[in-house]
Chain A
Amino acid sequence: MVPTGSFYGLVGPNGAGKTTTLSMATGLLRPDAGTVWVHGVDVWADPVAAKAMIGNLADGVRLFDRLTGEQLITYTAMMFGLPREEIAARTADLLTLMDLREAAGTIVADYSAGMTKKVALACALVHAPRLLVLDEPFESVDPVSAANIEDVLRGYTASGGTVIVSSHSMDLVQRMCDHVAVIAAGSVLAAGTVDEVRAGETLQDRFVSLVGGRHVSEGPQWLRQS
């Protein structure tokens, strides 16, 4: 249950099922059981209506990388059926926001990892969705761009939009999110507001004690240089 207008973090160790969960929630991966509701629409019963409300940044998938950045954003906007005059303005805004003005005419295959992430993020935003689902949005994005994007996302939630992010960075989640869920091995270990979940500790310590697996060691003998 993700409250409307919240900034919801999804954290968990590698292989916990974050990407799988988000794929099922956005209509990309058919769940074996259970339902997903977005603003009163059952995602798997009426995917077209649900997806129109969702902006999705999927992790570990290709983009149509033979298009230029500008073409890719325009293409995505067209897929959502935005009117033509709106598309040009929004594309320009997003390119500025993501610091991609210079690279607008370069094909996405020639982008660096961080630029690719940013253009994918722009595609998720272009149709002004009511819900944003971002899988690892800040991976390899430079700190300046990340700060700019953070500001935009804060403004978005303040105006009533809902954001779900998955991340490995506890600092980022503690700083940005108001809600958080910790998952491991496919099940939710703790969920609620960030303050509830961390229960007085830092989110980092709380996460480690929930998930376990931390071992104190200086590493194997052969790795030490003296």
Chain B
Amino acid sequence: MVATVLKLRYRVLGNTLSRSVWQLIGFIAGALWAVSVLGMLVIGLVALSIFQGLEVARVVSVLGGALLVLGWIIAPVLVAGVDTTVDAPRLAPFPLSTRQIMQVLTATGITGIPGIATGIAALATIVLWLRWPIAAVVALPCIALGVLTCVVATRFMATLSAGLGQGRRGREVIGTIVLALLILSGPIVTSVLSLVDRGADLGVRFTQIAVAVSWTPLGAAWAVPGDIAAGEWLPALLKLLIALATVALLWVLWHRALEASITSPPRRSAAKARAGSLGWFGRMPTGGVGATWARSLTSWLHDPRYSRQLLIVPLLPIVFAFAGGIDGGLFLLSPLLIALMLAIVGYTDISYDGTAFTAVLAAGVRGRADRLGRTLGAAVIGIPITVVLTIVVVAITGRGETLPALLGGALGIVLAGYGVSAVSSALIVMPVAGPGDSPFKSVPGQSFLTSLSVFAVWGVCIVVSAPALVIALISVFTGQALLGWIALAVGVVVGIAAVVVGIVVGGRTLDRTGPDLLARMKAFPR
């Protein structure tokens, strides 16, 4: 049974890759990246085992292992997404017991690309214990236990998120909260680090943390070989029990969650607006521009795929404040980085329409009207955010004289971004998660394409906003207030010019490429 599903899963992967060259390239690039990271890791571990003693090996093993488990639990939301080729709802029609489904899902998790990579990385830690043969032998089952913890935990999280978020809204909220926690995890870790023994150097602090973590479900399995090597048999036994109990508990919890989710499939939450409440559609002027504007604004406010990107924005300065303090230059310049984030949010706007873009195309709206509507929708949200956050950041640092310069630089970047996006989104579409999809869903081949075109868009965006940016930076670092006002003027004027050019050029492009974009989106895997 398990073997059949595994075969099926690789067949699906093979078919997907053979269907599109770009996904194949993305897959190969991802595989190469994983192999190179693994190679460096193994080299590092070997070097560690040769040149360092037992204490360092124990710290590395525990902290590395704990991070791995943590990564398996939370990373799917942010970067990769769980592979949904085989998941519980798809297996539900077949005559399989819940236990069998769990076995199948665990097996597919271990044999997936991330699973294999994790397995190899974990096995490589054996070299750390080669000098202590008993520890090396014991390490093998402990590694298996650790990897199993990773896979079962990630599956449990996925099931839980589907079960908890019975409705559409619930799932979206969970995804957003997890993302926010993740972004703030940097500051959280720094503050934890500063909590333990302030006087000690970093190495001692890490050791203290490792000792604490080795008693938690995250680190227990990874700590056992090190304890044995050090001759601490009782702690080793206790930690092994903790690790076993962790997997057992996760398995039981997952069993319950899965049973609940299979017997009560996600209900439709009938979120009802009052009939006659038209939202933005009642306020905007009729016509292509007004209609697109209203829809774009509705998406920015209600579609989690847009609003989640907005959420990152106010968190950025907080991260910088923790990293470098509010007196640091990084915090003062964070409005510019916010602007860079905001500038690219809409660079492949039409991808988010998906095949619903048919409605736009069938209505025969001119490209220029569509571009203008989308830009207005983005600007109504983006410009106020930029201005307010810049003012707040400057107010906190108390360096009021830099406000015009920073405002000029930030607005210059955002407006240039709107101009560039107006053209780029008429040229580029890429597979994205659908509006109602689980935040855990991954879209194959997306990450490679995304990273390529994002950098291109950023490049153009920085070139266009360079005049304002350079003047603004000079003004901030030399303290010349007059230059700041010039930067503001240049940023706004050049930015608006970029938007106008972008709308005209992008509009003409869209008139030409519209049907081709739709044809490409229809061919995306669903």
**Are A and B bound to each other?**
yes
List the interface of chain A (C-beta within 8 A of B): 26-30, 47-52, 54, 56, 58, 60-68, 70-71, 74-84, 87, 101, 104-107, 109-110, 123
Are B294's CB and A27's CB within 8 A?
A: no
**CA–CA, A27 and B277, complex, Å:** 33
Q: Quick one: closest A residue to B519, CB to CB?
A: A29
Are B273's CB and A68's CB within 8 A?
A: yes
Pairs A–B under 8 Å by Cβ, sample size 30? A27-B364, A28-B362, A30-B515, A48-B364, A48-B366, A60-B355, A60-B522, A61-B355, A62-B434, A63-B359, A64-B353, A64-B359, A67-B295, A67-B298, A68-B273, A68-B277, A70-B278, A71-B279, A71-B281, A74-B278, A74-B281, A74-B282, A75-B281, A79-B291, A81-B287, A101-B275, A105-B272, A105-B276, A106-B273, A109-B436
Most buried by A among B277, B292, B362: B362
Are B275's CB and A70's CB within 8 A?
A: yes
Q: Quick one: closest B residue to A112, CB to CB?
A: B268
Given the complex, which residues of A lie within 8 Å of B516, measured CB to CB? 30
**CA–CA, A81 and B292, complex, Å:** 11
Are A56's CB and B362's CB within 8 A?
A: yes
B 436-455 binary contact with A (CB < 8 Å = 1; else 0) = 10000000000000000000
**CA–CA, A64 and B364, complex, Å:** 16
Are B288's CB and A81's CB within 8 A?
A: yes
User: Number of B residues whose C-beta is below 8 Å from A?
Assistant: 51
**CA–CA, A106 and B275, complex, Å:** 8
Cβ-based interface call for B382 (8 A): no
Least distance between B513 CB and chain A CB atoms (Å):
10
Given the complex, which residues of A lie within 8 Å of B287, measured CB to CB? 78, 81
Give chain B interface residues in 348-380, CB to chain A under 8 Å: 353-356, 358-366
B 483-526 binary contact with A (CB < 8 Å = 1; else 0) = 00000000000000000000000000001000110110010000
Across the interface, B362 reaches (CB within 8 A) one of A27, A71, A107, namely: A27
Given the complex, which residues of A lie within 8 Å of B436, measured CB to CB? 65, 109
Cβ-based interface call for B284 (8 A): yes
Cβ-based interface call for B270 (8 A): yes
Given contacts A29-B518, A64-B295, A64-B359, contact A105 B273 (CB under 8 A): yes
Are A79's CB and B360's CB within 8 A?
A: yes
Cβ-based interface call for B264 (8 A): no
Least distance between B495 CB and chain A CB atoms (Å):
28
Are A28's CB and B279's CB within 8 A?
A: no
Given the complex, which residues of A lie within 8 Å of B434, measured CB to CB? 62
Q: Quick one: closest B residue to A31, CB to CB?
A: B515
